[in-house]
Amino acid sequence: MSWRTKAAGLAATGLITAGLVVAGSAGARAATTQLCQSQTASASGGTYTVQNNEWGSSAPECITTDGNADFTVANSSISNATNGAPGGYPSIYQGCHWGNCTSGGLSGNPVQASAITAGKVSTSWSTTQPGTGAYDVAYDIWFNQTPTTSGQPNGTELMIWLNHNGSVQPFGSQVATGTSIGGRGYNVWFGTQGWNTVSYTMTTAATSVSGLDLAPLVQDAISRGYIQPSWWLIDIEAGFELWQGGAGLATNSFSVAVNGSNPAPAACSATYSVLNSWPGSYQGQVIVKDTGTSPKNGWKVAWTFPGNQQITTLFNGAYTQSGQQVTVSNVSYNASIPAGGSVNFGFIANVTGTNAAPPSITCS
């Protein structure tokens, strides 16, 4: 069975604006973002991207995330045959997925396969796995023949299955059984359909891994001829391929470490100004600048008004206001800021009395 077109839908449709759902009383909890179909949201200041990536089904299915490196499958009516393609791959990634890149880490520093030695690239992932439905719990790790690509990688897709539920199996045919790699037992599957797909399924199921070193698996794939040493690691994804159901599946935490350290989010600053004013209202602007050395994919700005300013309309951003507290995040077309570059958003607000600027404004 073949299902490796799963990311094409996202590439074709582009980034779709996510919906914000505020949980609990105003300001009591962090805003929860709901992602359906091919919607995405930046996480941990842009270091990671969460994507719903429902590509093989039109059934209702959505995930939620809170801006950190986590997500939960909130609902899923996917009901695909288990001997065919799954309906989607809700996941979180670090790197470049079909040209959509996170900030820093692999997106700005792809790693050549020959350089992936012990400790060079590692990852941790904690999950919650309900016992119903048909799904896998799997990394999807992509190699490209060149350091970058705006489309589908043309090298090797390396999957690591921590577990699965129901009668589902990796693409291709099983080529090795009970192989010890890096201190763990794996069954190895391989198939090709214009690019190589090699899958390592853990013989002892796991709900989490901590500091999983990719070097032994990459070196094994190189030794089998599935990855060329000159190819480049550009993307590490972790998620759940859903054939049937899947509600309750969750990524509790996820991280990627390159060169032994976690990539830092691209830095940013925000500058607030008043452009025009008239009795009872005014026009404001905020310039968001990438002050780091790597592109920033996704941004969020927050401030507290010192007076009774109330935003009525905002352009080039998605905002929430609770009392004096305002949060503005990017929309799909201005999520990416090149290193040293900037974007801006404007708003109209009502005000009585003194129209003082916020004493501080944060950017992440």
DSSP code of 217?
H
Residue 263 inside a domain? The answer is no
C-alpha span between 261 and 60 (Å, rounded): 38
Query: Would you state the pLDDT for residue 3?
Result: 47
Nearest-5° Cα angle at 219, 50 to 158: 35
Query: Would you state the pLDDT for residue 19?
Result: 61
Residues 58 and 149 occupy one common structural domain: yes
Residue 3 inside a domain? The answer is no
Query: Would you state the pLDDT for residue 105?
Result: 84
Residue 82 inside a domain? The answer is yes
Query: Would you state the pLDDT for residue 8?
Result: 42
**Choice among 16-20, 125-129, 213-217 with the minimum mean pLDDT:** 16-20
C-alpha span between 111 and 290 (Å, rounded): 24
Query: Would you state the pLDDT for residue 296?
Result: 77
Residue 234 inside a domain? The answer is yes
Query: Would you state the pLDDT for residue 194?
Result: 83
Answer with the one of 238, 258, 278 that is the final residue of a domain: 258
Residue 77 inside a domain? The answer is yes
What's 158's domain CATH number? 2.60.120.180
Residues 136 and 243 occupy one common structural domain: yes
Residue 62, CA atoms < 13 Å, CB-side half-sphere = 14
Query: Would you state the pLDDT for residue 266?
Result: 64
Residues 275 and 250 occupy one common structural domain: no
C-alpha span between 217 and 143 (Å, rounded): 13
Answer with the one of 258, 279, 308 that is the final residue of a domain: 258
Averaged pLDDT for residues 235-247: 98
Residue 1 inside a domain? The answer is no
**Choice among 78-92, 242-256, 335-349 with the minimum mean pLDDT:** 335-349
SS3 329: strand
Residues 110 and 180 occupy one common structural domain: yes
- pLDDT tens for 284-335 read 999 999 887 667 777 899 999 999 999 999 999 999 999 999 999 999 888 8
Tell me what the pLDDT averaged over the chain comes to: 89
Which strand (E) or helix (H) includes residue 10?
Answer: helix 8-13
Instruction: Provide the residue range defining the domain that includes 336.
Output: 268-363
Residues 238 and 307 occupy one common structural domain: no
- Other C-beta atoms closer than 10 Å to the C-beta of 52 total 28
Task: Say how many domains are in the chain.
Answer: 2
Residues 78 and 183 occupy one common structural domain: yes
Residues 46 and 178 occupy one common structural domain: yes
CB-based contact 229:113 (threshold 8 Å): yes
Residue 56 burial (10 A CB sphere; 0-12, 13-18, 19+):
buried
Answer with the one of 205, 223, 258 that is the final residue of a domain: 258
pLDDT band at 107 (very low <50, low <70, confident <90, very high): confident
Query: Would you state the pLDDT for residue 295?
Result: 72
Residues 213 and 335 occupy one common structural domain: no
* pLDDT surpassing 50 at residue 268: yes
Residues 301 and 247 occupy one common structural domain: no
Residues 216 and 310 occupy one common structural domain: no
With CA atoms as reference, report the closest residue to 201 among 216, 188, 182: 188
Q: Where are the alpha helices (DSSP H) in 170-244?
A: 215-223
What's 284's domain CATH number? 2.60.40.290
Residues 135 and 277 occupy one common structural domain: no
CB-based contact 59:86 (threshold 8 Å): no
Residue 308 inside a domain? The answer is yes
Averaged pLDDT for residues 259-273: 75
Q: Which two tokens stand for residue 114?
A: 């020959």
* pLDDT surpassing 80 at residue 246: yes
Query: Would you state the pLDDT for residue 172?
Result: 94
Active site residues: 157, 241
DSSP code of 292?
S
- pLDDT tens for 2-30 read 344 444 433 333 334 456 544 433 334 45
Residues 67 and 138 occupy one common structural domain: yes
Residue spans of beta strands (DSSP E) within 245-322: 250-258, 268-278, 281-290, 296-297, 300-304, 310-315, 318-322
